[in-house]
């Protein structure tokens, strides 16, 4: 790769497009003759406000975000929004304690539900479905079995579960008037979506949209103002929207890089282009795994919910596992891949094995090289 860079399969923070990094490098010392680096600019200066607004506009264009939605660039990551969601949506104007519905399909949506439970003085948390039970988060139970609460303050789910690689390839449908809240951290901008079906979409930028430090919240404007009294100001979506996400100092440099990332996608053809690329990469990897005839074992075998973004797998799982649930074959796989510049393939600690994350900025060439390596490794390291 140019600059002797590696192909980075990390689950996040993840690889960024080379063109984005090159532009950032070129603009690093003196952004467009402003005499300053973007990192040094006052967030109140015209030059920076223009950068910020441009990032918002590019994102609006990319996702065709309707005018009745605000785009906020906040901080604290998706984890902060696990708290931000209940804190901002529980004042319903109705009598009694509201109920909120959580759909749990993996580790992250479970964490989101657990965070909401910390506000049990203000809401009842109903677990609509928890696919740990009976399915070990390997699949998503049919929607007809879910127990939604009529009149819930909101319904929360995560489109893609990063750790176990379970994804809603077909988005669930909900009653027209439901306030649907979605954690899209790990498949944000990977395919076109209909934003109007959601009340709130949030995502940490560091996988598919930029560096760590910017947290994106897209919220339907009529939902602003439903915050609890105890909601911290910096996390108050209404206050932030009123101040154009500048109630306090925003993460200025990460938002600038996000803007470059959005423009990079737009320049190449927008979300239809990314989607086609991401599908092609995933197809190649899943085909290589299928062709291995069991040498590589998928964690998620149901194609309906297999993720395009994160693919946990075992490399011939036989042999003693170490403390991190890695077999000798897997340790060798990770080490040999790294020597070729294929890095960050080690699986999530609890799950062990390998995890291939292939976000938007990972090129098809990277996946091709990985698949070639997988074939060679299998040939040279029989069970
Ligand atoms: N939600 C999902 C789906 C994630 O993958 C992650 C991080 O990996 C998070 C939430 C937490 O994100 P953050 O680290 O930005 O708080």
Q: Which are the contacts of 346, defined by CB distance < 8 A and separation ≥ 6?
A: 324, 326, 334, 354, 355
CA 320 to centroid of ligand 1, rounded, Å: 31
- Ligand 1: residues whose CB is within 6 Å? 12, 77-79, 108, 158, 162, 183, 185-186, 204
Which of 102, 108, 110 for a ligand 1 pocket mutation test, highest count of atoms within 8 Å of Cβ?
A: 108
CA 123 to centroid of ligand 1, rounded, Å: 23
Quick check: is 207 catalytic? yes
Query: DSSP of 152-219, one letter per residue?
Result: -SEEEEESEETTTTEE-SS-----TT--EEEE-TTTTTSS---GGG-SEEEEETTTTTS-TT-EEEEE
* Residue 7 pLDDT: 98
The answer to whether 205 and 214 are in contact (CB under 8 A) is yes
Q: 19-267 maps to which CATH number? A: 3.40.640.10
> pLDDT averaged over the chain?
97
Confidence grade of residue 286 (pLDDT, cut at 50, 70, 90): very high
Quick check: is 222 catalytic? no
Assign 7 to helix, strand or coil. Answer: strand
- Phi and psi at residue 349, in whole multiples of 5°? -45, -50
- Strands (E) across the chain are located at 7-8, 69-74, 99-104, 124-130, 154-158, 160-161, 166-167, 180-183, 200-204, 215-220, 296-298, 310-315, 342-343, 354-357
Quick check: is 108 catalytic? yes
* Residue 167 pLDDT: 98
* Residue 350 pLDDT: 87
Domain ranges for the chain, please list them: 19-267, 270-380
pTM for the whole thing? Answer: 0.97
CATH 3.40.91.10 fits 270-380, yes or no: no
- What's the mean pLDDT in 354-371? 98
Among residues 108, 138, 263, 281, the one annotated as catalytic is 108
Tell me how long the chain is. Answer: 383
CA 109 to centroid of ligand 1, rounded, Å: 10
């Amino acid at each position: 790769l140019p600059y002797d860079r590696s192909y980075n399969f990390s689950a996040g923070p993840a690889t960024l497009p080379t063109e984005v990094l090159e532009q950032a490098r070129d603009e690093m010392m003196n952004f467009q003759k402003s005499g300053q680096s973007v990192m040094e600019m006052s967030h109140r200066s015209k030059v920076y406000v223009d950068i910020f607004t441009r990032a918002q506009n590019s994102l609006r264009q990319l996702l065709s975000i309707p005018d009745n939605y605000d785009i906020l660039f906040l901080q604290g990551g998706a984890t902060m929004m696990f708290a931000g969601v209940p804190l901002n949506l529980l004042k319903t104007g109705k009598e009694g304690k509201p109920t909120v519905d959580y759909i749990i399909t993996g580790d992250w949506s479970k964490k989101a539900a657990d965070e909401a439970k910390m506000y049990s003085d203000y809401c009842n948390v109903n677990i609509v479905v928890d696919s740990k039970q009976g399915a070990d988060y390997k699949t998503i139970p049919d929607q007809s079995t879910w127990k939604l609460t009529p009149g819930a303050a909101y319904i929360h789910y995560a489109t893609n579960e990063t750790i176990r690689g379970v994804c809603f390839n077909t988005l669930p449908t909900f009653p027209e008037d439901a306030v649907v809240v979605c954690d899209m951290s790990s498949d944000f901008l990977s395919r076109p979506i209909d934003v109007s079906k959601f009340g709130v979409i949030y995502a940490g930028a560091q996988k598919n949209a930029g560096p760590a430090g910017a947290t994106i919240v897209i919220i339907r404007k009529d939902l602003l103002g439903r915050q609890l009294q105890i909601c911290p100001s910096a996390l108050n979506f209404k206050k932030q929207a009123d101040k154009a996400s500048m109630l306090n100092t925003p993460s200025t440099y990460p938002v600038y890089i996000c803007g470059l990332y959005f423009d990079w996608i737009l320049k190449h053809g927008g979300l239809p282009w990314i989607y086609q690329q991401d599908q092609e990469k995933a197809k190649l990897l899943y085909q290589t795994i299928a062709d291995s005839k069991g040498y590589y074992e998928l964690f998620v075998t149901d194609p309906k919910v297999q993720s395009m973004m994160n693919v946990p797998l075992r490399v011939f799982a036989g042999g003693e596992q170490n403390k991190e649930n890695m077999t000798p074959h897997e340790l060798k796989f990770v080490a040999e891949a790294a020597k070729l510049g294929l890095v960050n393939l080690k699986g999530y600690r609890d799950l062990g094995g390998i995890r291939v994350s292939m976000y938007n900025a990972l090129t098809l060439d990277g996946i091709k090289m990985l698949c070639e390596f997988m074939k060679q490794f299998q040939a040279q390291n029989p069970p």
